[in-house]
Amino acid sequence: MRSVSQLTPEERREDFPYEPYEPPDWGPVQHEPRFRILRKLFAPFIALGVLVWKLKFIAVAVFKFKVFTTSASMLVSIAAYAWLWGWKFAVGFVLLILVHELGHVIEAKRQGLDVSAPMFIPFLGAAIALRDQPVNAWREAQIGIAGPILGSIGAAGVWLAGEQLDSDLLRALAFTGFFLNLFNLLPVVPLDGGRIVAAIHPVFWLLGFVGLLGLVFVAPNPILIVILLFVGLELWRRWQERGAPGAEAYYAVAPWQRVATAAAYFGLAALLVVGMSATHLERTF
């Protein structure tokens, strides 16, 4: 018997119809440089690092413009008010406060002052911080009244929407907005009204403090007591500064400016009373 190697090519094809497998010639094996392998391995980590670096700049921008701080304090306030009135009313109420505070910010920016973003304080509203002080009481009054003016416009817009949609929720929000801005017109510092009447006559501060004190005795309320304490401290501070250098010049207001301030102050207060009367809803519970 012959071996496979002794078979002729024809006999091999008859017995083995398939061609023998011959591996392809891949050429000499080439090893990839190590740095390329490392680059492939670390590419996802490099991409992640670039993303984090970009997010760092975004975070810096957010904190620089105080958007994060304002948003976080707004959310806390919404949660606090939602506990009392429900989340829908809470969202609308906080947005109305934001519109009010933006009025102060816009006017302060118009005067070229360095002003902070609004900071919300649950159950006490919100506030801004002026890093630069107005040059005189007239300028301070303009900043003070800008908040209630823009806030009143915002409440009026909610009122119109409530009438168009026949929504008692929006009417109630409008009423609350009118009341909020009217309350801020109380002639006591540091409320807006106290900053406004400084351009009319500082004696209004004392009248406002006596009136607020009487309100606390008639209708005791923890929030009113806290406001009264702030008012008393600010009134005492300004009383002590009455003889400081520049104080006389600061409160030197031209007669036409006093008249304009008084007209805007009392006129806005009257309009807010009308708005409250038009949006008042009878309690059904």
Confidence of residue 133 (pLDDT cuts 50, 70, 90): confident
What is the per-residue pLDDT across 34-50, written as a single tens digit (0 to 9) for each?
A: 545 545 554 554 554 44
**More confidently predicted of 1 and 256:** 256
Q: Is residue 42 part of a domain?
A: no
Question: For the chain, how long is the longest CA-to-CA vector?
Answer: 134
Q: Is residue 30 part of a domain?
A: no
pLDDT of residue 211: 86
Residue 149 sits at φ, ψ, to 5 deg, of: -65, -55
Confidence of residue 28 (pLDDT cuts 50, 70, 90): low
Structural domain of 255: 85-279
Confidence of residue 284 (pLDDT cuts 50, 70, 90): low
Q: Is residue 285 part of a domain?
A: no
**More confidently predicted of 214 and 16:** 214
Q: Is residue 80 part of a domain?
A: no
Q: Is residue 274 part of a domain?
A: yes
CB 192 within 8 A of CB 184: yes
Tell me the H-state helices in 65-118. 67-85, 87-110
Decide: pTM greater than 0.85.
Answer: no
Q: How many domains does the chain have?
A: 1
pLDDT of residue 13: 55
pLDDT of residue 271: 95
Q: Is residue 6 part of a domain?
A: no
Q: Is residue 172 part of a domain?
A: yes
Q: How many C-beta atoms lie closer than 10 Å to residue 216's C-beta?
A: 14
Q: Is residue 44 part of a domain?
A: no
